[in-house]
A and B are shown apart, each in its own frame.
Chain A
Amino acid sequence: MSETYIARSSAIAARMLAGEMMVMNSMDSTFFTLNQVATAIWQAADGRTPLREIVRSQICEQFDIDPEQAQTDAAQFVADLSQHGILLVSDQPMRDPHAPEER
């Protein structure tokens, strides 16, 4: 089974405000407010950890969610945000645009 890898786009500004994660695409100023589950996925989107692993370790262990349902919801969430250019999706590991430059 092929894996899905996700990374945050470099065109994104994000701020946690009063417990809510706000994400803005600075190219077109579109906004999203992420719930707790979506925030956990967003924060774990490092380009190297497979989505399946993120859902297993970050979502199923922290939230009381059926694992199969969690995988389906996460896939939908990732598809939505990638359509808006918020998340980058690949079947290969990729570099996190927000990570510091490696020397």
Chain B
Amino acid sequence: MMPAANSRRCVVEIGGIPIALHADDEQFLALLRQRYVGFLSSTPPELELDLDLTSQGPVSDDDVRVRREGPEWLLERGDFHARWNPRTGRARVRQNPNPYALDSVLRILHSLVLAARGGFLLHAASAITSGATGAPARPLLTHREHAQAYLFSGVSGAGKTTISRHAPPDVTLLTDEISYVRPSASGYAAYGTPFAGELAKAGENCSAAVAALFFLEKGPENQVDDLSPSEAVRRLMRNILFFAEDRELVEKLFATACDFVKQVPVRRLTFYPDSRVWDEIRHFEATPAHV
């Protein structure tokens, strides 16, 4: 029997953007299917990655380099080398056979696609706090119509994992490390990602409108404070994941950050690291008209 044409690929859909991963190595594909299990999709892909696995090697701590070269984007680190042509949607990726390298490639590709579309990846945990689950728009990606998503941003050690760990059971975790934000009809929406931080747990594959962004600081008690719009933009830009040396896209990100701050309440959340911080978030949620 002839194998199905798609047997050597899987499609991973994060943030509503399906990306097909093609590889000859069935074992590696099985590993990917397991890693991205909540994010596998049957939607026709927007991007196609041909994975060319090199010999075994260590995970690289080198700096990432991302730059345009003619019509292509060149993505490089010690453990991967990729060329992506946005016009054809096709990328060739030469990488170590470890999923961490592919995680990085996917994050970079999403950051480029999102920047052009008015969205961004953010160093932030995110969670959905309430609302009924709507009918799935796609088999695996559920948009929660009446729910609200909160983003908790900060550098390593600011408390992203702590906030996530103390989330009450009725809260749906989208990620404890890298939040996925896209513009929507009513403002901005946050999507779950499989990119996990210290919790080592993928987020749920669902989305909801962003109700607020909190910049985290640990302190002796829980408190929410205003930030000036310029300070909010400054902090937002500092925490957006963007790797490319590209003036046009950086300017586009700046415009997006300004628009986000106009539309979404951005606050400083000083918190004592225990579950009571969620009372403060619930209180904020119950107080209308923040913008």
Contacts and interface: CB of A to CB of B under 8 A. Distances in A.
Contacts of B258: 15, 17, 22
Main secondary structure of the interface of B (DSSP, over half): helix
Given A17-B262, A31-B237, A26 B254 contact: yes
Given A17-B229, A17-B261, A27 B255 contact: no
A22 B273 CA distance: 34
Interface string B227-250: 011100110010000000001001
Interface in A1-48: 11, 13, 15, 17-18, 20, 22, 24, 26-27, 29, 31, 33
Interface residues of A, number: 13
Interface string B248-285: 00110011001001100000000000000000000000
Contacts of B262: 17
Contact of B254 (A13, A18, A20, A33): A13
B247 A27 contact: yes
Given A13-B255, A26-B254, A18 B229 contact: yes
B287 to A, nearest CB: 21
A29 B229 contact: no
Interface of A: 11, 13, 15, 17-18, 20, 22, 24, 26-27, 29, 31, 33
Given A13-B254, A15-B258, A17-B233, 19 more contacts: A11-B247, A13-B255, A15-B254, A17-B229, A17-B258, A18-B229, A20-B228, A20-B229, A22-B233, A24-B250, A24-B251, A24-B254, A26-B247, A26-B250, A29-B250, A31-B233, A31-B234, A31-B237, A33-B234
